[in-house]
């Protein structure tokens, strides 16, 4: 799965990777690719914003891939935040209580602000 990765600068001068998940679904058919792609771009201390704005559908495999990625990012001393979730995706994440595990923001700007990036009101959603 080709991920679109954009590097953003924070106020403190650090880099933040904005990862946009392509396609409308993250499910058992593509979750492994997603996990592999994200892992390949991982660097120590990576700060990642995962933009799920394109996704209409995520199943347990897709969710598992995101949880696995979060653990990998944290494992290298980095952080991963989610943003722009559509209603069904958010409903799934809340159903399995992963909203207590992920930091979730309404927009990528809010997520960026939470990383100390561009000025924005950054209250976690």
Partner 1 sequence: MSDTVPISQADFNRQAEALRREFSDLRGMAGVGIEFRMPGFEPRVLLPVPPESTSAQFPVDEKQGSELILHHAPGSGDFSTVLELAVRGVLGRLEVERREEVLLEELGSNWESLDAIYEISADVLRYADVETSLERLIARFISLQDGLHAAIFLTRNGRLKPLAGHASEILDWQDLGRMEKAIREARAVSVNHLPPEMTGPGPVPWPNAVRVAAAPVTARLKVIGFLAVWRDDERFQFDAPFLRLLEAITHQASMLLESDRLKRSMRENERWAQELEIASSIQQSLLFGHPPSGLDRFDICCFSAASQRVDGDFHDFLKHSNVCVDVLVADVMGKGIAAALIGAATKNQFLRAIASLALRSKGTAPSPAAIVDRAARRVVDQLIQLDRFVTLCYARFDVGRGLLEFVDCGHTGILLYRKRTDDTIFLRGEDLPIGVIPEFTCSQVSHRILPGDTYLLFSDGVTEARSPDGDFFGEERLTECVRNWSSLGAAILVDQIRRAAAIFGDNPPQADDFTCIAITIRLDHLDEPVVVREAEFLCQLEELEHMRAWMAAAALEVPNGGLGDVGLGQLELACTELFVNCIAHGSTGICGGPIHMTARVHREHLTVELRHDGIPFDPLSVPPPAFDGSRDSGFGTYIVFHCADELSYRREGGTNVISISIMRKGHAQE
Residue ranges in contact with partner 1 by CB under 8 A: 25, 27-29, 57, 59-61, 63-65, 67-68, 70-71, 87-88, 91-92, 95-98, 100-101
Q: Which is nearer to partner 1, 26 or 113 (CB)?
A: 26
Q: Which is nearer to partner 1, 14 or 53 (CB)?
A: 53
- Chain center to CA of 77: 16
Orientation of helix 60-75 relative to helix 31-40, angle to 10°:
10
Let me know: does 52 contact 89? Beta carbons within 8 Å: yes
- 64 contacts: CB under 8 Å, gap ≥ 6: 31
Q: Which is nearer to partner 1, 2 or 100 (CB)?
A: 100
Residue 2 DSSP class: P
């Amino acid at each position: 799965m080709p991920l679109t990765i954009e590097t953003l600068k924070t106020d403190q001068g650090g880099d933040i990777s904005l990862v946009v998940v392509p396609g409308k679904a993250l499910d058992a058919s593509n979750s492994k690719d997603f996990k592999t792609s994200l892992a390949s771009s991982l660097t120590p201390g990576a700060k990642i914003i995962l933009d799920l704005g394109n996704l209409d559908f995520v199943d347990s495999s897709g969710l598992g891939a995101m949880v696995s990625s979060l653990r990998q990012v944290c494992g290298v001393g980095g952080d991963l935040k989610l943003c722009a979730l559509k209603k069904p995706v958010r409903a799934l994440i809340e159903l399995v209580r992963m909203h207590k595990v992920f930091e979730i923001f309404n927009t990528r700007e809010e997520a960026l602000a939470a990383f100390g990036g561009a000025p924005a009101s950054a209250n976690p959603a």
